[in-house]
Amino acid sequence: MGLLKRHSEKLAFALLVALCTGFVLKQGSTSDAPWEEELRRNTALIQAALANPKDPSPAYEYSPQALAHKPRYLDSIVGRFADEATPAPSVPAFVAYPQPARPLVEPRPPPPGVREEFAWLGQLTNMKLSAEPGRVFLAFTPPRSLKYMELVRVEIFRNTTADNLEDTPFAVIQYEPATAEPSPLERLPPARHGRPEAALTTPPPAAAGSGRFVDTRVEAHKTYYYRLRAVGRMTVPPRARLPNAGLPGGAGITVVRPPKEALPLLSGQSGAAALYATPLSAPQAVTAESNCKIRLAGTVGTIPPRDCPPHLLNAGYKGSFSVCVWLPEAQVWGEATTYAGVGERIQGKVLFTNPATKQLDAYAFDTGYELLEIKWGTITTRSCQALPLLGPGGAPLLSPAGKLVTEERVVQSTAIANEVAVLKNTSTGTLKEFPKCSAKKE
């Protein structure tokens, strides 16, 4: 027993060495484990499949035939991301940038004895449009209340659409004498659009200094939009300091500022005053009427008598029409005679001298009407005579100057048979009557 107690540690160490030696000898044996044998078999199968590739069996769980009927989760996720993704151009709209607080700047009051005033150009008012054959009339009221300003011109802008007007004025109405050589102030390009106002010509006639404009370069049945603006010149240089007699004691100065809400066109140079324009007026539209005036001049053939039975109506006649046509190129009225039978359009050509080429030219016109019939109508002629007015007692009345007071009275009415052409508007289908030798505007 004593021997065991004295040599127990040595016995435990010898037992541990024996166990470790047995484990090492077992691991170094040549016998193969089961998993190594299975690995070699799988490797051989893979190499054989690679050497002789075949289509996968339909029984294989991940074959193409089997995957065709399975949900495509990846495509679904990609589609959802594409639908919910924010387009790149709109990303900045969702980005918040720190905005520094804008400092409050209180206007400094003018020093004692100084006051500030703004020039005033006013506005164009009462703009009205109306159409007649071959022309459009535009009326307006020029600015009246001006302060430190003088009206230079009114610019007229025109186009066939309301939202896309021309940059260059279509016409200009001058309110001051035009000089042959423009001043240095007029040569400068305007601030608006950054384009020079080189085309400030007046193609149509415009009454200088008036609030009325006649546009004679219009096409029949076409809609035009017009806008106006006034252009004025400051009578003093901007920020001029003027003696002020309105303050107590008659001392002090007035500083003149440019007009508010006005567009600066030209900057003052060498002490010259600047040009300013009012905002463009709201667009107004007008549709041009026909550029023709129709008159029935006569008939060729025999028209049916009054109350003629329908089966006896004669349609073998023609109407002779005298048509006045407005010629935009020549800016004059031309006249032509044309013939139209029942169901035919009233159209033709008018000859004129082209002002550009100085040669004879032809303008084709179409009134937009066709002849339905020519029938018999009646016109009434009245004869009038100046007869004296009678007082309560039957005596003639006298004026304070002792003259006989008279009035025009119809003394005789006569009904005369007259030919009447019934025309149909091919665009609207409406009917209009044109008596012989009676002009009507269309």
Helix locations, 149-232, DSSP H: 184-187
180 pLDDT tier (thresholds 50, 70, 90):
very low
The mean per-residue pLDDT over the stretch 431-441 comes to 70
More confident residue, 94 or 59: 59
Rounded CA-CA distance 327/357 in Å is 15
Rounded CA-CA distance 69/398 in Å is 116
Rounded CA-CA distance 9/149 in Å is 123
358 pLDDT tier (thresholds 50, 70, 90):
confident
Q: What is the pTM of this model?
A: 0.53
Non-local CB neighbours of 441 within 8 Å, separated by 6+ positions: 132, 133, 289, 293
Which of 59-68, 211-220, 400-409 is the least confident region?
59-68
pLDDT at residue 51 in the model: 84
Q: Could you tell me which CATH class the domain 114-178+198-287 is placed in?
A: mainly beta
pLDDT at residue 203 in the model: 38
Rounded CA-CA distance 151/138 in Å is 19
Query: How many CB atoms are located within 10 Å of the residue 90 CB?
Result: 8
Element (H, E) at 206: none
Category of 36 on φ-ψ map: left (φ > 0), alpha (ψ -120 to 50) or beta? alpha
121 pLDDT tier (thresholds 50, 70, 90):
confident
Strand order in the sheet with 318-327: 332-341, 318-327, 292-300, 440-441
- The mean pLDDT of the chain is 76
Please check the confidence at residue 199 and state whether its pLDDT lies above 70. no
Percent of the chain with pLDDT over 90: 5
Which of 45-49, 234-238, 309-313 is the least confident region?
309-313
Rg (the chain; Cα; Å):
50
Which of 18-27, 190-199, 292-301, 344-353 is the least confident region?
190-199
Q: Using DSSP bridges, classify how beta strands 114-118 and 253-257 pair: parallel, antiparallel or unpaired.
A: parallel
417 pLDDT tier (thresholds 50, 70, 90):
confident
The mean per-residue pLDDT over the stretch 247-260 comes to 70
DSSP output for 399-420: -TTSPBPEEEEEEEEEEEEEEE
321 pLDDT tier (thresholds 50, 70, 90):
very high
pLDDT at residue 194 in the model: 30
More confident residue, 282 or 394: 282
Burial 274-283 (b: 16+ CB within 10 A, else e): bbbbbeebeb
The two tokens of residue 275 are: 């040009």
- 32-36, 226-230, 423-427: which is most confident: 226-230
Dump pLDDT digits (tens) for 288-303. 888 888 889 888 888 8
70 pLDDT tier (thresholds 50, 70, 90):
confident
pLDDT at residue 1 in the model: 59
**Based on the number of CB atoms within 10 Å of its own CB, is 359 exposed (0-12), middle (13-18) or buried (19 or more)?**
exposed
13 pLDDT tier (thresholds 50, 70, 90):
confident
Dump pLDDT digits (tens) for 275-287. 888 888 889 999 8
104 pLDDT tier (thresholds 50, 70, 90):
low
Segments making up each domain of the chain, as ranges? 114-178+198-287, 292-441
Dump pLDDT digits (tens) for 260-273. 888 888 655 544 55
* Half-sphere exposure at residue 11, Cβ-oriented, CA atoms within 13 angstroms: 6
The two tokens of residue 414 are: 């006569």
